[in-house]
Amino acid sequence: MKRSGVKTILHICGDTSDRLETMAETGVDCLSLDEAVDFAYARKVLGPSFCLMGNINTSLMAVGDPESVTEATLELIQKAGRQGNLIVSGGCGLSANVPAENMRAMIGAAREFRL
């Protein structure tokens, strides 16, 4: 895929904190982290130039209110560092019934930082 110019993302469900470096060594362009992984720790281990994706709590996305989603997104951005190399998303697959308002809240908070 890389030879074709396709960017790759690796996601493994659960707390993968103990194998982040091994996951990065696979050569992927980005790691999608489950909500069980502490983003500040992942950023410390992998450094500011490695792309991280995730990890807003999927239950919060499904049943929380937009204000809580915004708060969680801003907290994630703070933990990940504001230097970029971050894709804000759910910590795992999002249900089709996630309220549109919550998706807008997550996207809006990320756009505040031009992510």
Residues 58-95: tens digit of each pLDDT: 999 999 999 999 999 999 998 888 777 899 999 998 88
Q: What are the structural domain ranges in the chain? A: 2-112
Cα 110 from Cα 74, distance rounded (Å): 7
Q: Residue 4 has what pLDDT? A: 87
Q: Residue 108 has what pLDDT? A: 95
Q: How many CA atoms lie within 13 A of 93 on its CB side?
A: 4
pTM above 0.75, yes or no: yes
Q: In 5-64, which ranges are continuous DSSP H helix?
A: 20-24, 39-46, 58-63
Q: Residue 115 has what pLDDT? A: 55
Q: What is the arithmetic mean of pLDDT over 99-111?
A: 95
The one-letter code for the residue type at 35 is E
Residues 30-62: tens digit of each pLDDT: 999 999 999 999 999 999 999 999 999 999 999
Residues in the chain: 115
